[in-house]
Amino acid sequence: MKTLIVLACLVLSVFAAEKYNSKYDNFDVETLISNDRLLKSYVNCFLEKGKCTAEGSDFKKTLPEAVETVCGKCTEKQKNNVKKVIKAIQHKFPAQWEELVKKNDPTGKHRVEFDKFIQS
């Protein structure tokens, strides 16, 4: 019985590790996308052209993998937040969006699938 409990805990920990940490699930995306100056500072952080907040640094570290896996490790809340933020960047800062794409997907290998994800 103890072995079964330990095995169940190990399986659950593996499945939990397949998703990104949920600590930013309640990040205030609406404030970010409605404040051009704040959004631009996050974009500059991602492009290594400006300072990063703690959250910005965490997001920047995750960004390449999120692009590569088309947000495969994102929770549903994170997927919705990513879509909102990227759509705002695409609309408000299209040139910087293209820089971000080139930085995080230099070969363009994931572009089509990621664009489909953003538009879904």
Per-residue pLDDT of 46-68, as tens digits, reads 999 999 999 999 999 999 999 99
User: 58-110, pLDDT tens digit by residue?
Assistant: 999 999 999 999 999 999 999 999 999 999 999 999 999 999 999 999 999 99
Residue 2 scores a pLDDT above 90: no
* Class (C level, CATH) for 20-119: mainly alpha
Stronger pLDDT, 13 or 54, i.e. the higher one: 54
Contacts of 53 (CB under 8 A, 6+ apart): 42, 45
Contact 86, 118 (CB under 8 A): yes
Amino acid at 98: E
pTM: 0.82
